[in-house]
Amino acid sequence: MPNAPFVSTIIAVGLVPVAFLFSHAFLSGLKKWKYHSLTGTLAILWDLSMSIGYMIFRSLGGKVEGSSLELTGSVLIYFTVHGLVAFLVIMLEFGVLITGLWQWTQKKKVIWHRRLAKPLFILWWFAFITGETFYIVMYVI
């Protein structure tokens, strides 16, 4: 079992609270519970800061130190699919955040907010579960 990179551990642990915030925001939006705007905004900003921060770190030459993970064909395919889904999630997060702020300032419903929130919720959970599963399988078990 390879050593878990410190950066990967921070991301894996740091996204767990986002899962609770996203779940609350999505369910509260459907059921008209309180704090929908707060938990949704926190979830998106927290996730964006971690995701974009990690991408900037890697783009500036940051290495994932401490891992002896062998990049086989299946691992590269996983990283490619996971990266593409993560990119879609980021784009949807910006869309949901912008339409949510627009809704809030205009004091009226924006249909695109709900239309973007559903695929965001599904794709975010897909990216989260596959990422956490990869981390656990490769570095914990």
Domain coordinates in residue numbering, the chain: 6-140
pLDDT at 24 over 60: yes
Report whether 127 contacts 86 (CB < 8 A): yes
Average pLDDT over residues 53-68: 69
Cα–Cα distances (Å) from 111 to 66, 67, 100, in that order, read 46, 45, 10
pLDDT recorded at residue 93: 97
Please tell me which residue, 70 or 15, carries the higher pLDDT value: 15
Rounded CA separation 26/91 (Å) = 17
Q: Name the pTM for this structure.
A: 0.86
Average pLDDT over residues 69-73: 74
pLDDT recorded at residue 48: 95
Position 26 confidence tier, pLDDT thresholds 50, 70, 90: very high
Rounded CA separation 107/113 (Å) = 13
Mean pLDDT of the chain: 89
